[in-house]
Amino acid sequence: MSGFIESQHILSEVNNGRVSPSTANLYLKHVVQFYIWAIEESEIEINDEKATPFTIQFVSIKRSDKLAHLKPKFVVQTSDLKIRVPKKPESGLNPLTSESLLTFSNKLKTEPIEFKLMCALALLSGLRKSEACSFTQEALDSAIPTSDERTRYILTVGPSTGVNTKYNKNREIEASATLICKLRDYSISERRLKKVQKLKVRGQYEPLFISQYGNQTSPGTLGARWSDFRKDINCTLNNFNYSFHDLRSTYATYRLNDLLDAGLGVGQSLDCLMSWMGHNQESTTMKYIRYLKKKTALENKFGLLDQIMHDAIKNEGYTNELL
């Protein structure tokens, strides 16, 4: 019975916010181990089942990993002396809806070219905020067409081209010919070349996006600009609650749907997306499959996503410095 009293005390600590549920269960695990030791060493005698401090339970858990076919289930020992920890919801995907995409692209037309292109790299190539900010001239120069039609290109981002990728790994990303053309035009524009002259830190790689003060654009600066951009949109559309990272999720969701519609198998589609996105674990990419199963059809195809963004970046927009 004392085990129950101890669990009640720890539960009150959890409810009062002094102990987290996971820490509380760790404490209770030690309590269970103590009683098991004490009973085995005859330090405590249990003569009545009703007097037991807890009940040992064996739970069968179904496996879903790659080796599940060898051993479909495994059994774990637990007890009824525990605190229920609320499950954290799976980090949800929040790709832009068709309405939000149109609103986003229309507002983007009036933004500085640097902000446009960084948003395009996230939405059309799946780059993270830090990757878009650190995108280099060398990464752009690595672009090679995927076919004779030259409609799509493959580029290398990572240490070999000076781009700050997650896990510091090289990977190939894809980009449309229109995006490559706009990036190349910007790279040799008078506007950018003036900034290159101000560049304070010169190394092996030349950042494509440079602030008016001669620094590589930072993720913090891009994040602040995105917040202002989102506020401006919400003046007319109250439910535009997207983060910059949601542009990357939009790319992945629409691109995966496009690959599956083209007849590519689920495994091959996941391999392509995992490579382009730079995911370290297959489970991360699987989130997009689960999302598509919930959404039976996307209103926009990836080709339309290209079209919307190409329309937004076709002109240079305002020349005022906001980055």
pLDDT tens string 105-115? 999 999 999 99
Query: 């949109």: which residue's tokens?
Result: 233
Q: What is the pLDDT of residue 244?
A: 96
* Mean local confidence (pLDDT), 241-268: 87
Confidence of residue 94 (pLDDT cuts 50, 70, 90): confident
| Percentage of the chain lying above the pLDDT 90 cut | 44
Q: What is the pLDDT of residue 103?
A: 92
| Angstrom distance (rounded) from CA 255 to CA 296 | 15
User: Residue by residue, what is the 3-state secondary structure of the chain?
Assistant: CHHHHHHHHHHHHHHCCCCCHHHHHHHHHHHHHHHHHHHHCCCCCCCCHHHCCCCEEEEEEECCCCCCCCCCEEEEEEECCCCCCCCCCCCCCCCCCHHHHHHHHHHHCCCCHHHHHHHHHHHHHCCCHHHHHCCEHHHHHCCEECCCCCCEEEEEECHHHCCCCHHHCCEEEEEEHHHHHHHHHHHCCHHHHHHHHHCCCCCCCCECCECCCCCECCHHHHHHHHHHHHHHHHCCCCCCCCCCHHHHHHHHHHHHHHHHHCCCCHHHHHHHHHHHHCCCCHHHHHHHHHHHHHCCCCCCCHHHHHHHHHHHHCCCCCCCCCC
User: What are 74's two structure tokens?
Assistant: 């495994």
> Which of 43-52, 55-64, 154-163 has the largest mean confidence?
154-163
- Decide which of 295 and 40 is more confident: 40
Q: What is the pLDDT of residue 300?
A: 47
Domain map (residue ranges) of the chain: 2-79, 98-313
* Mean local confidence (pLDDT), 255-268: 81
- 9-23, 135-149, 194-208, 284-298: least confidently modelled range: 284-298
User: What are 304's two structure tokens?
Assistant: 């339309």
Domain 98-313 belongs in CATH node 3.40.718.10: no
- 82-91, 92-101, 169-178: least confidently modelled range: 82-91
Q: What is the pLDDT of residue 150?
A: 92
Whether the CB-CB separation of 195 and 210 falls below 8 Å is answered with: yes
User: What are 111's two structure tokens?
Assistant: 């933004």
Q: What is the pLDDT of residue 98?
A: 85
Question: Exposed e or buried b for every residue in 26-56, given b needs 16+ CB within 10 A?
Answer: ebbeebbeebeeeeeeeeeeeeeeeeebbee
- Decide which of 249 and 8 is more confident: 249
Q: Which residues, 6 or more positions from 266, have their beta carbon under 8 angstroms from its beta carbon?
A: 260, 289
- 316 burial class (0-12, 13-18, 19+ CB within 10 angstroms)? middle
- pLDDT of 319 over the 50 cut: no
- 18-27, 109-118, 222-231, 239-248: least confidently modelled range: 18-27
Question: How many CB atoms are closer than 10 A to CB 6?
Answer: 18
> Which of 18-32, 165-179, 256-270 has the largest mean confidence?
165-179
Q: Which residues, 6 or more positions from 308, have their beta carbon under 8 angstroms from its beta carbon?
A: 101, 102, 105, 300
What strands, in cross-sheet order, belong to the sheet with 152-157? 144-145, 152-157, 171-176
Confidence of residue 161 (pLDDT cuts 50, 70, 90): very high
Q: What is the pLDDT of residue 1?
A: 46
Query: 């309405």: which residue's tokens?
Result: 99
